[in-house]
Structure 1
Amino acid sequence: MATWNTIFIQDSASPLMEQLMFFHDHSLMILLMITVLVGYLMSSVLVNKFNYRYLLEGQEIELIWTFIPAIILIFIALPSLRLLYLLDETINPLISLKSIGHQWYWSYEYSDFKSIEFDSYMIPSNELPTSGFRLLDVDNRIVVPYKSQIRLMVTAADVLHSWTIPSISVKIDATPGRLNQMSFFLNRTGIFYGQCSEICGANHSFMPIVMESISSEYFIKWIMKMSS
């Protein structure tokens, strides 16, 4: 049975995701208004075609059908370009996190701290705890502080992968021999799930991503524990 989160967009955990959800609703409302208007005009012409000939011919209606779509495209393009710029912007990151895709698991390195690196494997169904999520939980989670700018660097060791967590608006390709980067900002604590979004082989569905967002105090304790 489908749940609310599997049908609609996941709850936002970052300002960029909030903006993407706003743009989604903004574009959907424009499309809905266009559909209603065009549907009404077409049905009116079909039912009363002799009374609505001005909708089919004349210089005025041709100008209207030309300028209105151009204005609509401007209302869609401006917020879209703004979002593209924000998604590519990296602003004074507090922590740099490197992710390496393998067949079929992820490796992580905290570049700002010495000797903090680990592999993250999916927990098999027969070892999954009662509170775990099948095909989504991993043995080693990424831990980051919330209300902090995080720089994510992604690459791959073998084939193409894609590091994706929908709730924080992150989807970036992991390409062998190339280092891609992007940044994100978490505005709340929690555990966020994602998966590889590139068809990378037979076990493509079995390399999930789990990120845990915690306070700065607990993050420092976690760093000290991992460094020891």
Structure 2
Amino acid sequence: MKRILTGAGASAFILGSAVAAFADQPHPWQWRFQEAATPIMEQIEWFEVYTLWFIIPITLLVLVLLAYCIIKFRASANPVPSRTSHNTLIEVIWTVGPVVILLALAVPSFQLLTAQYNPPEEAKITLKATGNQWNWDYEYQVEEPLSFNSAILQEGDRAAAGKEDKAKYPRLLAVDNEVVVPVKTTVRVLVTASDVIHAFAMPAFGIKTDAVPGRINEIWFNAEKEGLYYGQCSELCGKDHAYMPIAIRVVSDEQYNTWLTAARSDLNGANKALMMAVDGAPSVSVAGN
């Protein structure tokens, strides 16, 4: 029965895999954000550029003023230092100016913060992520719950898992079991931990929250592009903190529903069928590779 289910699932995946997938991941010498895959991350990118219009001029102004003071008021050129105690105009400028700048930064930052905690619609999928030293337990809180563990993929297990392509499944980021969610669907993530503090972070989605034992933090995302996305635990949690990746595969609704049905009875077979469909499609590519 499992073989029949897995085979049917693979066929359904292949039929639905004509659309090119998108994915992003860290790259060597990367200094900008990963490409946005959610509306929230697009807002974060916009806010970063917006703040640079303030940061760069202020930094240059301070640099010019420092250079001016160093040159003009050096001991050799100014043997008798000024005894000026105050200047009303300057004091007004350096009081009012920062207030205006802070207001200009505060308004969009509060708008972004509000958007991060208020999804535009009720979540269709609730996923519980529990951090352990040093892996993740995931539970799909659906009508027929599905639970599994996700840990870093060991180099010796690549061939058996069918994940030998390090462009798609990079070292230190690839996992044995990815989280699978449908595209353009609001997903609620309940984040907690079983031992010490961890952090659930997915850069391309613009989400990051602590996983605290005995407490549940709630985040959400709505991925607009199909593909395989990588994140990591972002809270120092012990000796293997660097080996605790997060992988989320975004697929079509049909692929997700078929995978979920098959995964309840055969998770490994369902994952391989999904990989066969996605990785086997000639149009699938990883951004930047």
Aligned match of 1:87: 116
Q: Does 1:78 align with 2:107?
A: yes
Aligned to 2:34, the other structure's residue is in SS state coil
d(CA) in 2 for partners of 1:45, 1:226: 68
Counterpart secondary structure, 1:6: coil
Task: Indicate the residue corresponding to 1:112 in structure 2.
Answer: 142
1:30 paired residue among 25, 37, 54: 54
In the alignment, structure 1 residue 98 sits paired with structure 2 residue 122? no
**1:89, 1:182 within 8 Å by CA — same for their partners in 2?**
no
Q: What CA distance in whole angstroms lies between the structure 2 residues aligned with 1:135 and 1:113? A: 34
Q: What is the alpha-carbon distance in structure 1 between the residues aligned to residue 105 and residue 175 of structure 2?
A: 39
201-210 or 58-67, larger mean C-alpha shift: 58-67
TM-score normalised per structure 2: 0.71
Q: CA deviation at 1:145?
A: 0.8
CA distance in 2, matches of 1:44, 1:97: 57
For the pair shown, which has the larger CA radius of gyration, 1 or 2? 2
Q: Which has the higher strand share?
A: 1
**Counterpart-to-counterpart distance in 2, 1:3 and 1:219:** 28
Q: Secondary structure at the match of 2:40?
A: helix
Residues 99 and 3 of structure 1: CA distance in aligned 2, closer, same or farther (over 3 Å): closer
Residue aligning to 2:90: 61
State the secondary structure of the residue aligned to 2:236: coil
Aligned pair 1:39/2:39, yes or no?
no
Gaps of at least 5 residues in structure 2 are: 1-25, 266-289
- CA RMSD, 1 decimal: 2.3
In the aligned structure 2, how far is the partner of 1:65 from the partner of 1:112?
A: 56
What is the alpha-carbon distance in structure 1 between the residues aligned to residue 245 and residue 125 of structure 2?
22
Partners of 2:191 and 2:126 lie apart in 1 by 11
Q: Which aligned runs of 4 or more in structure 1 are off by greater than 6 angstroms? A: none
- 1:103–1:41: structure 2 CA closer, same or farther, 3 Å change rule? closer
AA in 1 matched with 2:151: Y
In structure 1, runs of 5+ residues without a counterpart are none
Task: Report the TM-score when normalising by structure 1.
Answer: 0.89
- Give the match for residue 268 of structure 2: none
Give, as a single letter, the amino acid of the residue that structure 2 aligns with 1:86. Answer: A
Cα-to-partner distance string for 1:153-210 (whole Å, 9 max, x where unaligned): 0111111111111110111111111111111111111110011111111221222110
CA distance in 2, matches of 1:172, 1:113: 26
CA distance in structure 1 between the aligned counterparts of 2:70 and 2:211, rounded to whole angstroms: 53
Q: Which of 19, 26, 44 lines up with 2:43 in the alignment? A: 19
Aligned to 2:251: 214
Same amino acid, percent of matched pairs: 36
Deviations, residues 83-139 of structure 1 (Å, cap 9, x unaligned): 111112244101101111112211111101314111112111222343131111111
Residues in 2 aligned to 1:42 and 1:99: alpha-carbon distance in whole angstroms: 50
Q: Which is further off, 207-216 or 85-94?
A: 85-94
Aligned counterparts of 2:191 and 2:222: Cα–Cα separation in 1: 17
Report the Cα offset of residue 12 of structure 1: 0.7
> Aligned residue for 2:227?
190
Which is bigger in relative contact order (C-alpha 8 A, separation at least 6)?
2
Aligned residues: 224
The whole-number CA distance in structure 2 between the counterparts of 1:26 and 1:175 is 33
**Which amino acid in structure 1 is aligned with residue 48 of structure 2?**
H
- Aligned residues of 1:125 and 1:135 also touching (Cα < 8 A): no
1:51-82, CA deviations, whole angstroms, 9 ceiling, x for partnerless residues? Answer: xx9xx963223212211111011111111111
Q: Which residue is equivalent to 2:177? A: 140
Q: Specify whether residues 121 and 58 from structure 1 end up closer, same or farther in structure 2 by C-alpha distance, changes over 3 A only.
A: closer
1:161 matches 2:198: yes
Give the 3 Å change call, closer, same or farther, for CA 42–175 of structure 1 in structure 2.
Answer: closer
Letter in 1 for 2:257: I
